[in-house]
Amino acid sequence: MPAVELDRTDLLLLAELQRQGRLTNAELAERVHLSASACLRRVQRLEREGVIAGYRAEVDPERLGLGLQAFVRVQLNRHDSAAITAFSDFVNSWDEVVACHALTGDMDYLLQVVVHDLEHFSRFLLDRLLNQAGVADVNSSFVLRTVKVFRGLPLSARS
């Protein structure tokens, strides 16, 4: 899918919405120096064109008792389309996996896993990942501290 043409005002709108997605249209319009109707039209266009893919709440995992986060590199036993589809289906059915990326290099996938504690991680790893998903090898790294959290895409990095 090709990139959408965005002007300076579109980028300002996106930056504000990434910072604070619950702004009212009037607040957003004021911040980007547009009338409320012009602001609404632009946001609706960005939504319609798929630039704004959705809205969601940022939830603190610690407040939910999800105190352990790990990054798990996965290598599959087989790489045919059926094995890849089966692995993708498994990963998408597991709530503990909050993100999964296909990789280049010696490992096939990188999973971001969020669980309650080490026992929960152990059950996830042994009962699900290693037992069900056609996995040959895993390598896990636990998050000790988060230095920078995702705050939105780098809008200023566009060429």
pLDDT digits (tens, 9 = 90+) for 46-85: 999 999 999 999 999 999 999 999 999 999 999 999 999 9
Q: What is the pLDDT of residues 111-126, one digit of tens each?
A: 999 999 999 999 999 9
Beta bridge partners of 99: 112
CA distances from 13 to 6, 40, 78 (A): 10, 10, 45
* Predicted TM-score of the model (pTM): 0.86
Within-domain flag for 41: yes
Within-domain flag for 2: no
Tell me which residue range forms the domain holding 109.
Answer: 62-142
Same domain, yes or no: 112 and 81: yes
Residue with tokens 């120096």: 33
The pLDDT-based confidence of 32 (bands split at 50, 70, 90) is: very high
Torsion of CA 92, 106, 66, 150, to 10 degrees: -90
Same domain, yes or no: 69 and 138: yes
Within-domain flag for 152: no
Q: Answer yes or no: are the C-beta atoms of 80 and 30 closer than 8 Å.
A: no
Within-domain flag for 77: yes
Within-domain flag for 66: yes
Same domain, yes or no: 135 and 72: yes
Within-domain flag for 108: yes
CATH code of the domain in which 69 resides: 3.30.70.920
Within-domain flag for 132: yes
Angle at which helix 8-19 crosses helix 36-48, to 10 degrees, equals: 80
How many C-beta neighbours within 10 Å does residue 10 have?
19
Within-domain flag for 78: yes
Same domain, yes or no: 35 and 78: no
Residue with tokens 């986060």: 69
Same domain, yes or no: 70 and 138: yes
Same domain, yes or no: 28 and 75: no
